[in-house]
Amino acid sequence: MHMSVRFLVSAFIFTATACGSSTYGPSSNPPASCAGTGASATIDATAGAAASSFTFSPNAATITAGQSVCWVNNSIADHTVTSGPGTTDDGKFTGRDLFKGTRVVVTFATAGSYPFHCSIHLPPLYTNMTGTITVNP
């Protein structure tokens, strides 16, 4: 493997710990899927060669209290699902590591606005790794 390719591959292999007790489901054979989780919304974590291509897509979802959101990662990089705006973990919900080929499902019991971000790929470089879950009563 060429040195520059090895560096790029190494640059995308990150690990981080997010607080967590949500449902965590590595898929048995990537790609990961939210099928069968009962989630009302799915958010894809994506990553490409440029920082601007690291995104949560869509970056917003609206559900009803008691429903779940599933984040799935079939990209080239590990991510996290971390509660809070910007770079702050506000603890409003428990997310966790979102490794390549895995999913995270979080159930939201209470109405409100729940910002989230990837604690590995933080702003200002990774401006698209943020989003908001709106939970209606």
Report the CATH number that the domain containing residue 76 is assigned in CATH. Answer: 2.60.40.420
**80 strand-pairing partners:** 97
The domain tally of the chain equals 1
Give this prediction's pTM.
0.77
Residues whose CB falls within 8 Å of the CB of residue 22, separated by 6 or more in sequence, listed in order = 81, 93, 94, 95, 96, 104, 105, 106, 107
Tell me what pLDDT residue 123 has: 85
> Which pLDDT belongs to residue 51?
87
Q: Where in the sequence is the domain holding 94, given as residue range(s)? A: 3-136
Kindly give the pairing relationship between strand 112-117 and strand 82-83: antiparallel
pLDDT of residue 30: 56
Provide the residue type at 88 as one letter. T
Placement of tokens 């910002």 in the chain: 115
CA separation (Å) from 106 to 4, 10, 24, 124, 125?
38, 30, 9, 26, 26
pLDDT on residue 22: 43
Give pLDDT tens digits along the chain (137 positions).
444 333 333 332 222 222 223 444 444 445 899 999 999 999 999 998 888 899 999 999 999 999 999 999 999 999 999 999 988 999 999 999 999 999 999 999 999 999 999 999 998 889 899 999 999 99
